[in-house]
Every structure is written in structure tokens, then in C-alpha cells.
């Protein structure tokens, strides 16, 4: 019975699950940390992948493997396969001005408001997270580096390429840029890929790549963009020489952006909405048709099966809880306990959680603020509660934005590292105003990648019907005052 591996190369770590291809049963798993920071040398992802593979008991017996990864990161390669500069990650906000400039530029060219022009072109109004804005930043701030670009890839594309045995010539590897692959879900987050184009298969918009790099279209024709591999198509095979016996010639799946992979791992269907509390806070849903939100709150990405994945993403999620732990001096369990000891609404204490600036809404220079502090609310319990509520209010705004785009919201699934917090699980229904379903703790991005790998093995029309994990539903009376108070102060700072 063949085994498959799924990889989640996420912001904070690399996680690998090995599952039975037929049933989806978990066989073993491993993980390794990524370095901190919003600018990372991709070599660190490769190192972490190898460490995670060893922690997972090796991958020599695995028949297929696919990589889910943090979206949007800009990996620029020269003609020798060298990474030109460290990758700028999705949560790096230095390209905020570039995003604003690109909106103006496309609007001027199209003769309509820039937000409309982008929403119509690729379903997404650029913010600093989007890859195209990072390329514009590179063209402006580091023109010499921009001039050396031979290929642009995303984190999961680059890692798949390395696993397939390609890499920089300086390391004795074959720098075959034409062997770079991606998938429609991750490509849809670049800002230069129209997921709905070419009858829904998606197509690159080289004119937008050229706009980002301040060049003519003819000048970017030679830049290699990864080949977009179809959902159940093979992207090649792992090269044993590169990773010893770690990958052993496994068939490679296309891989996916992490949120699309999570949807596949959860077995999401229309009406399901995932609320993921990782480094990013993500509210996403499967949709049969593309969205184009000119407000920019919802990005019109693609899923990993050929459908769409409208999504609202905040910069401030699990790390808000980490920050609260640091401020109060407690561990995860302690923070949860304290938060649940304070009343709903924390007696008017509100945290606006823009600790890293914010992306949804687009406020890259914002900071976090605390409002309504009184003698009564000056307790660790109230602060713990305010941090949990503030983080969830940011996600509830994203959920509203999805509803405004006509997305059906029938079931909320709470996942990601932060969903392990009992306080988050219990406060979430009060804030969202509906029950939340918590699947058993797991690596749903890596699971989705594993399911994709199994799908490549079968070659069937649909992914294998793996049993989904058991869930627990958290119900509570809605506490509308939490969001009302948050809305009053959200835009004050
Ligand atoms: N029990 C817990 N309660 C709250 N947060 C937690 C808990 N366990 C882990 N986390 C947080 O989850 C985050 C990692 O989640 P993860 O989904 O793996 O993130 P990413 O995919 O962005 O790397 C960390 O910020 C960590 O502090
Ligand atoms: O930017 C987005 C989605 O648009 C983020 O969701 C990244 O894909 C990073 O994910 P995590 O590592 O936080 O899970």
C-alpha cells in the first residue's frame, strides 16, 4: 500500500506528514523551524525540509510528495539558479508604497480607478503581500538585482524545484529554470496571474509582470515563470542524489498555496469557511466562480482543484496571542485560562491588533492600540481577553467581507496553531455570531499536499476520498457588543 508525503513550508516552520495513499491514515510526521524575519534566504527552507524529513523518519518509502507553502514570497533567481537576494515574504510590508503605485499605474493605463482595473484583471487589488508589489519594490530599490532576474518563483515552487534535484550551479546542481513548476492556486497570489483566464485554467499576465518591473512586455518575455501544473498532474520526480535517500524518486505533485492546500486537507465544500489562525489570519472559502472585490478586502485566489478560493488575510493572528503571552508572562494554557476568567467584552477594554501593520484592511503602517483602559480592566485577565477578542474581531471583519462578496457561510472551521487555544475556541462563536467547528489538531496544509500527492498517483478526476478528521463544535451566545466596541475604535489610530 503506497505512502505519500505532504509538506507545509509555512512561515514559521516546515511540517511533513506521511500518509497511506488509499485511506489517508497518518503513518508518521516531523517538523523543523524556519528562521524568524520577513526576509529569508530560501536555503533555510531547504535545510528545514531535510530536517523535517529526518524527523518524519525519512521519505525513502514514499511514492509521491507535494509541497504546500506560504504564499506570495518573492524568490528571484539568476540564470545560474542562484537566489539573487533573500526572499521577501508575504508579511514584509516594505512594498506598501509599490502597491499604491501599481494601483495608480494600472488605473491610468486602463482609464478606470486602479482598484477596479486590478480587480478585473486578476481578482485582487494589490497590497504589500502580493508578489508583484515586491517586484516593483525590487525594481525601484535594487535595480541591479532586478536586472539580473532570470526567473521568479514562489516558496513552494522553489522548494519543489530543489526536491526535484535542480538548484544553483555553484552547489553542483543543474540550474534548469524551465523545470520550475507551480500550480494555479499559488500563481493566483502573484498579481500577474489571472486564475479565471483561459477558460478557468488560468494564465499569466506578462503585461502586469512588465508593469511591476517597469519594463516593456517584450523585455520580460525571457523571464521564466514556473509552468502551471494541473491539479492531478505530476510536476516531475524527486531526485535521490540531492537528498540522499530522503525522497527516493517519488512522483512530485504540483503543490499549492498553503490556504488552498488546507482546503483540500479539510475536504472543504461550498458553504464551508476556514478560519486559520497561523502567523497569518485567514478566512477562506471554496467558490465556483471568481470574485473581484474592488475594496481589496477579499482577494480572488484559486483553490487546488480548479475552483476558486476567495480569501481575506490579516497579518495579525497567532502572534497576537504570542505577544499577549509575552506581555503577561504566561504560557499558552495560562493565557487561555486568564482570558476565560474575564467577562465577554473585557469590560470595554479593546485591543486593535495591528501589531505588524495590517493587510486587511490595508493599513501597512498601523500599530496596535489599546482602548478603554480603566482601573477595573487593568488586570491580566482583561488583557488576555482583549488580545483574544481583538485578534478574532480582525478575522470577523474578513468574514463579513467574504459575505459581501456573496460567499455562502454555512460552517466555520477553526484551524492553525492558534486554534489550539481553548479561549480562542470558546470566544470565537461569541465574536462570529455562529458556532465554530474545530477539527482535531493537525497539519491540514501538509495533509492537503499529501492528498494532492495521492491524487497524482491515482490520476482520477477527483482527489481520493480520505476520511475527514473528527470535529468538536463550540457554541455560545453571540456577544455583539464585542464587535460594536471594536468597530468604534478600530480606525482611530
Ligand atoms: N496552544 C496554543 N494556543 C495558542 N497558540 C498556539 C498554541 N500552540 C501553538 N500556537 C501558535 O501557533 C503558531 C504557529 O501556528 P502555525 O499554524 O503552525 O503557523 P504558520 O503556519 O504560520 O507557521 C505560533 O505562533 C504558536 O505560538
Ligand atoms: O499571505 C497569505 C495568504 O494570502 C498567508 O496565508 C501566507 O500564505 C502565510 O501563511 P501562514 O504561514 O501564516 O500559514
- Structural domain spans, the chain: 3-258, 267-435+475-492
pLDDT at 72 over 60: yes
What pLDDT shows up at residue 239?
Answer: 74
**Catalytic option among 92, 183, 186, 258:** 258
484 is in an annotated binding site: no
Average confidence (pLDDT) over 91-113: 98
What pLDDT shows up at residue 469?
Answer: 82
Q: By C-alpha distance, which of 89, 50, 273 is closest to 167?
A: 50
pLDDT at 389 over 80: yes
pLDDT at 242 over 90: no
Tens of pLDDT, residues 441-490: 999 999 999 999 999 999 999 999 998 889 999 999 999 999 999 999 99
Q: For domain 267-435+475-492, give the fold.
A: Nucleotidyltransferase; domain 5 (3.30.420)
9 C-beta closer than 6 A to ligand 1: no
pLDDT at 147 over 60: yes
Closest C-alpha residue for ligand 1 atom 11 = 417
What pLDDT shows up at residue 237?
Answer: 87
3-state secondary structure the chain: CCEEEEEEECCCEEEEEEEECCCCCEEEEEEEECCCCCEECCHHHHHHHHHHHHHCCCCCCEEEEEEEECCCCEEEECCCCCECCCEECCCCCCCHHHHHHHHHHHHHHHCCCHHHHHHHHHCCCCCCCCHHHHHHHHHHHCHHHHHCCCEEECHHHHHHHHHCCECCHHHCCECCHHHCEEEHHHHCCCCCEECCCHHHCCEECHHHHHHHCCCCHHHHCCCECCEEECCCCEEEECCCCCCCCCCCCCEEECCEEHHHHHHHHHCCCCCEEEEEECCCEEEEECECCCCCCCCCCCEEEECCCCCEEEEEEECCCHHHHHHHHHHHCCCHHHHHHHHHHCCCCHHHCEEECCECEECCCCECCCCCEEECCCCCCCCHHHHHHHHHHHHHHHHHHHHHHHHHCCCCCCEEEEECHHHHCHHHHHHHHHHHCCCEEEECCCCHHHHHHHHHHHHHHHCCCCCCCCCCCCEEEECCCCCHHHHHHHHHHCCCC
CA of 266 to the centre of ligand 1 (A): 18
Average confidence (pLDDT) over 143-166: 97
What pLDDT shows up at residue 244?
Answer: 55
pLDDT at 246 over 90: no
Average confidence (pLDDT) over 369-391: 98
72 is in an annotated binding site: yes
What's the CA angle centered on 58, arms 57 and 59, to 5 degrees?
Answer: 130
Average confidence (pLDDT) over 426-454: 97
What pLDDT shows up at residue 467?
Answer: 85
Mutate to test the pocket of ligand 2, among 279, 308, 311 (most ligand atoms within 8 A of CB): 279
CA of 470 to the centre of ligand 2 (A): 25
Kindly state the cell numbers that stand for 124: 485582487
pLDDT band at 238 (very low <50, low <70, confident <90, very high): confident
Distance set, CA 171 to CA 26, 43, 176, 215 (Å): 35, 11, 13, 31
Distance set, CA 410 to CA 69, 268, 434, 444, 445 (Å): 27, 11, 9, 20, 22
258 catalytic? Reply is: yes
Query: Which of residues 313 and 493 earns the better pLDDT score?
Result: 313
Cα–Cα dist 483/363, whole Å? 19
What pLDDT shows up at residue 358?
Answer: 97
pLDDT band at 248 (very low <50, low <70, confident <90, very high): low
Structural domain 3-258, CATH architecture: 2-Layer Sandwich (3.30)
3-258 against 267-435+475-492: fold identical: yes
What pLDDT shows up at residue 243?
Answer: 60
What pLDDT shows up at residue 249?
Answer: 83
Average confidence (pLDDT) over 344-369: 97
pLDDT at 21 over 60: yes
Q: Among 55-59, 246-250, 375-379, whose mean pLDDT is lowest? A: 246-250
Do the beta carbons of residue 401 and residue 298 sit within 8 Å? Answer: yes
What pLDDT shows up at residue 240?
Answer: 59
Mean pLDDT of the chain: 96
Average confidence (pLDDT) over 321-338: 98
259 C-beta closer than 6 A to ligand 1: no
Q: What is the pTM of this model?
A: 0.96
What pLDDT shows up at residue 479?
Answer: 97
Query: Which residues are registered as beta bridge partners of 473?
Result: 437
Q: Measuring from each residue's beta carbon to the nearest atom of ligand 2, which residues come in under 6 Å?
A: 10-11, 70-72, 90, 129, 189, 258-259, 278-280, 282, 311, 313
pLDDT at 323 over 60: yes
Amino acid at each position: 500500500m503506497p505512502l505519500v508525503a505532504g509538506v507545509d513550508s509555512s512561515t514559521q516552520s516546515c511540517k511533513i506528514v506521511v500518509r497511506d495513499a488509499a485511506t489517508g491514515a497518518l503513518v508518521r510526521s516531523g517538523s523543523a523551524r524556519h528562521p524568524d524575519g520577513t526576509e529569508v534566504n530560501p536555503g533555510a527552507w531547504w535545510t528545514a525540509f531535510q530536517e523535517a524529513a529526518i524527523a518524519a523518519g525519512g521519505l525513502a518509502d514514499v511514492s509521491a510528495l507535494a509541497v504546500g507553502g506560504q504564499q506570495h514570497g518573492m524568490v528571484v533567481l539568476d540564470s545560474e539558479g542562484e537566489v539573487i537576494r533573500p526572499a521577501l515574504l508575504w508579511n514584509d510590508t516594505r512594498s506598501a508604497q509599490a502597491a499604491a503605485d501599481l494601483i495608480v499605474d494600472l488605473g491610468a493605463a486602463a482609464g478606470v480607478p486602479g482598484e477596479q482595473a486590478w480587480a478585473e484583471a486578476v481578482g485582487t487589488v494589490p497590497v504589500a503581500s502580493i508578489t508583484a508589489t515586491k517586484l516593483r519594490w525590487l525594481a525601484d530599490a535594487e535595480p541591479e538585482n532586478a536586472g539580473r532576474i532570470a526567473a521568479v518563483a514562489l516558496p513552494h515552487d522553489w522548494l519543489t524545484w530543489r526536491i526535484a534535484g535542480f538548484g544553483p550551479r555553484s552547489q553542483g546542481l543543474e540550474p534548469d529554470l524551465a523545470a520550475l513548476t507551480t500550480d494555479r492556486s499559488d500563481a493566483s497570489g502573484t498579481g500577474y496571474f489571472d486564475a479565471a483566464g483561459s477558460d478557468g485554467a488560468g494564465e499569466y499576465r506578462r503585461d502586469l509582470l512588465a508593469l511591476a518591473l517597469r519594463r516593456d512586455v517584450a523585455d520580460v518575455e525571457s523571464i521564466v515563470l514556473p509552468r502551471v501544473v494541473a491539479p492531478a498532474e505530476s510536476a516531475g520526480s524527486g531526485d535521490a542524489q540531492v537528498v540522499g535517500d530522503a525522497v527516493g524518486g517519488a512522483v512530485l505533485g504540483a503543490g499549492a498555496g498553503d490556504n488552498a492546500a488546507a482546503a483540500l486537507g479539510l475536504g472543504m465544500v461550498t458553504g464551508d469557511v476556514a478560519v486559520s489562525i497561523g502567523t497569518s489570519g485567514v478566512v477562506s472559502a471554496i467558490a465556483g466562480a471568481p470574485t473581484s472585490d474592488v475594496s481589496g478586502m477579499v482577494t480572488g485566489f484559486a483553490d487546488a482543484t480548479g475552483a476558486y478560493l476567495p480569501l481575506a488575510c490579516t497579518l495579525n493572528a497567532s502572534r497576537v496571542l504570542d505577544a499577549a503571552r509575552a506581555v503577561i508572562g504566561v504560557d499558552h494554557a495560562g493565557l487561555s485560562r486568564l482570558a476565560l476568567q474575564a467577562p465577554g467584552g473585557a469590560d470595554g477594554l479593546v485591543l486593535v491588533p495591528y501589531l505588524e501593520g495590517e493587510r486587511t484592511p490595508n493599513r501597512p503602517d498601523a500599530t496596535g492600540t489599546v482602548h478603554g483602559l480603566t482601573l477595573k480592566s487593568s488586570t491580566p485577565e482583561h488583557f488576555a481577553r482583549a488580545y483574544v477578542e481583538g485578534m478574532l474581531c480582525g478575522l470577523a471583519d474578513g468574514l463579513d467581507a467574504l459575505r459581501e462578496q456573496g460567499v455562502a457561510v454555512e460552517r466555520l472551521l477553526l484551524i492553525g496553531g492558534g486554534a489550539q487555544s481553548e479561549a480562542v475556541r470558546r470566544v470565537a462563536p461569541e465574536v462570529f455570531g455562529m458556532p465554530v467547528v474545530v477539527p482535531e489538531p493537525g497539519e491540514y496544509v501538509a495533509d492537503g499536499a499529501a492528498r494532492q500527492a495521492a491524487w497524482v498517483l491515482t490520476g482520477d478526476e477527483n482527489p481520493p476520498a480520505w476520511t475527514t478528521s473528527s470535529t468538536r463544535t463550540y457554541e455560545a451566545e453571540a456577544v455583539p457588543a464585542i464587535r460594536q466596541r471594536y468597530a468604534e475604535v478600530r480606525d482611530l489610530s
